[in-house]
Amino acid sequence: MVAGSPALWASQPASAAHDATGYPSRPVRIIVPVAAGGSADKLTRLVAERLTALWGQTVVVENVAGASGTIGAARVAKAPADGYTLMQQGEGITLNAILFNQLPYRTDEAFTPIIKAVVNPQILVVNPGTGIRSFADYLARAKAQPGTLTLALPGNGGIAHVAHELLAQQTGAQVNYIPYSGGGPATLDVLAGHANATLITLAAVTDHVRSGKLRALAVTTPYRSQALPTVPTMAEAGLPGFAVESWQGFFAPAGTPPGIVEKINRDIQTVLSMPEVHARLEEMGFKVAGGSAADLAASLKAERPRYARAIQTAGITLR
């Protein structure tokens, strides 16, 4: 299976404005393929609320978690290509196509890119009760006591998993991975002390870090987040050159009329540019991205070989 096939992602038809006439004339559903409470869910609900006001039609967010996001994606792949069922997804759409031997859909044929909404760091956080105070402390314990630290993963084989495997390969740190159905459940277990740490989208835990309920150790991007500017990058904290940036965006079933895709893209960009929305996303830890459907298609094509190499080197497999 090939994710982000150049033949597909580059083959979206030219503009056809009449395709969007009267759209939407009834409620629109956005499938979030992870559990409620995480960053993907927060982003989607914020966008859905503003689209509801803009369109005069209810935009419903539905969480369909399981199997690293592939259950929700399969539901969207089988939905009518009419713009009334959309999907929130990020780099997981590429990762799953690499990691799974079989999926109930062909990634390179099932979805139409709409927009890359935001980019964001992954952040390593721990429960303060661990006594770990810095990224150096974390690495030292993970190397001195291999497998004793428990790391809650917001999805098996997701970007956090890939990023931590790259970290482990570079440092020799070994932890016990515990996969969850999304960022929300993973965060709750770290807060409760049932797991020691999580590597997760920064926007999912900013409030908990600010309140002191979680201790932030480092972010995966080569730049610090404006939302948590005192948290160092992993490169600054001892891993020169380390950089992983995740993103979140929106898709429709393949075959959705191009005029509808363009309207959704345009209206989501309108939402993202609203001062109060932009400020809220930045406060959460996201960086607004935007751009055209073609921009997202190009990003999908570019990221696949990079992640394929990383997964192969790290030896990550799913069935």
User: Which domains are assigned to the chain?
Assistant: 6-118+248-314 (3.40.190.150), 121-219 (3.40.190.10)
Question: What pLDDT is stored for residue 105 in this prediction?
Answer: 96
Helix 39-55 × helix 275-284 angle, to 10° = 170
Per-residue model confidence as pLDDT tens digits over 281-290: 999 999 999 9
51-80 average pLDDT score: 96
Hey, what amino acid is at 271? V
C-beta of residue 220 within 8 angstroms of C-beta of residue 244: yes
Q: What is the DSSP string of 10-58?
A: T-PPPP-GGGGTT--SS-EEEEESS-TTSHHHHHHHHHHHHHHHHHTS-
Confidence class of residue 307 from pLDDT cuts 50, 70 and 90? Answer: confident
Highest mean pLDDT of the ranges 61-70, 82-91, 306-315: 82-91
Helix 92-99 × helix 70-77 angle, to 10° = 100
Tokens of 43: 């982003």
- The strand pair at 197-201 and 287-288 is best described as unpaired
Question: What pLDDT is stored for residue 319 in this prediction?
Answer: 59
User: Helix H segments across 226-290?
Assistant: 258-273, 275-284
Confidence class of residue 14 from pLDDT cuts 50, 70 and 90? Answer: very low
Has residue 179 got a pLDDT over 80?
A: yes
Q: What is the mean pLDDT of the chain?
A: 91
- The strand pair at 176-179 and 150-153 is best described as parallel
Looking at per-residue pLDDT, the higher value among 25 and 306 belongs to 25
* Of residues 196, 199, 116, 187, the one with CA closest to residue 162: 199
> 3-state DSSP call for residue 245?
strand
Has residue 19 got a pLDDT over 80?
A: no
Q: What is the DSSP string of 268-280?
A: HHHHHHSHHHHHH
Has residue 17 got a pLDDT over 80?
A: no
- Cross-strand bridge partners of residue 87: 31, 251
134-147 average pLDDT score: 97
Tokens of 159: 């970007």
C-alpha of 94 from chain center: 11
Question: What pLDDT is stored for residue 198 in this prediction?
Answer: 98
Per-residue model confidence as pLDDT tens digits over 226-237: 999 999 999 999
CA distances from 285 to 122, 181, 306 (A): 10, 21, 24
Confidence class of residue 71 from pLDDT cuts 50, 70 and 90? Answer: very high
